[in-house]
Structure 1
């Protein structure tokens, strides 16, 4: 099954014996995980009856019923403790993802999250829930999609060491360190937007502009800086 750039970036962050795709929709990601050999088994969890049926049909048509189990339920509710090593949530708002994570009675060692917006909320959640941000990507598409990989680890997250804290939480420490070209384009767009609004002197806008400028200054000073 062919994935778009967004889900292909998610796929690249996953490798586990047993993985769960929460809110699986058409089960495109579970099928790709099995067909690529990145997982031995995938649980495709879906709450809503329509997408659930579509996922079941897709799995059966692909002949992957032995490797992909489609389950109905809300978030992590259909998953047993210690049943999976990792889980993905994609194509949702960050607030929806936070609700699913907060309701979960148990979470796996690794989480791969692709919110449609507001990745800062997920980065902040991770810093207070025992997860480190170990990888991230920014993928062009309808807009620029963030993809975040979190792994359970003790102590403070080393990803935020040596980078401006507010800018790193907002735009991503790994992306800043790598001078990611997609982030560079995003920051330039944000700088233009907030600069135009800053003439009105609103404190909130001025604060946002400072964060963008701090991120740009750090990114442009990186050895691999984008032009």
Structure 2
């Protein structure tokens, strides 16, 4: 996630322990950070960690929900991570004019709702990563640009597969993505039947698998 962020002013929404902003400042990838945390326990932890790192002059910790503690135009980019994709998309929808021109998000499940939101709101998918772990963690960098996102314009790339697995990731065809798609095929095959959601998901996984073949 760190590699996809570079900004003069960056906000980490739902930061928890403030480790990402601390690393951004220490690595020179951000000049100033704002930490936003709603819950009292993580909020206090973030403050302690910033103080321990002696970065109070570079990182400000604020209590609040989502982007509400930020002023419009205050930051160049923001990150939202460690939540379900539906929760992330909800936070982005409520942000309104406080949204910065660049976003880096890491949902804990399928990024489909975030990719759909981005296409609707004029944010292009500039880059994406799939990080191996307990399960594959998707990380997306979104940038506000004019016009439709060209990354979805390839006629040979089924939209459902691109929204589920990622257009950049499908083109790269990493072993991590292959493993994820194969696991989905194994999980969905016994559940699929006409009219069921699992059937649609299985067809999407099959389309992605076809694209990943040499």
TM-score under structure 1 normalisation? 0.90
Counterpart Cα distance in 1 of 2:206 and 2:159? 13
- Tell me by how many angstroms 1:208 deviates: 1.7
Counterpart Cα distance in 2 of 1:201 and 1:95? 26
Task: Deviation per CA, 1:121-169: give whole Å up to 9, x if none.
Answer: 0000001001001111111112111111100011111111221111001
- Tell me by how many angstroms 1:60 deviates: 0.5
Map 1:79-158 onto structure 2 (within 5 A): 79-105=70-96, 106-158=98-150
Choose the corresponding residue for 1:210, options 200, 203, 213: 203
Map 1:1-227 onto structure 2 (within 5 A): 10-105=1-96, 106-162=98-154, 163-198=157-192, 203-221=196-214
Aligned in 2, Cα 1:95/1:205: closer, same or farther, shift over 3 Å? closer
Counterpart Cα distance in 1 of 2:200 and 2:10? 40
Counterpart Cα distance in 2 of 1:176 and 1:161? 14
User: Which one is further off, 201-210 or 12-21?
Assistant: 201-210
Task: Deviation per CA, 1:69-124: give whole Å up to 9, x if none.
Answer: 11111111111111100000010111211221121132000010000013000000
Counterpart Cα distance in 1 of 2:26 and 2:91? 27
- Tell me by how many angstroms 1:201 deviates: 5.0
User: Which one is further off, 202-211 or 128-137?
Assistant: 202-211
TM-score under structure 2 normalisation? 0.95
- Tell me by how many angstroms 1:193 deviates: 1.4
Partner residue in 2 for 1:7 = none
Please give the secondary structure, in 2, of the residue aligned with 1:76: coil
Counterpart Cα distance in 2 of 1:181 and 1:34? 32
Question: How many corresponding residue pairs?
Answer: 211
Please give the secondary structure, in 2, of the residue aligned with 1:132: strand
Counterpart Cα distance in 1 of 2:181 and 2:45? 38
Please give the secondary structure, in 2, of the residue aligned with 1:196: coil
Counterpart Cα distance in 2 of 1:160 and 1:201? 28
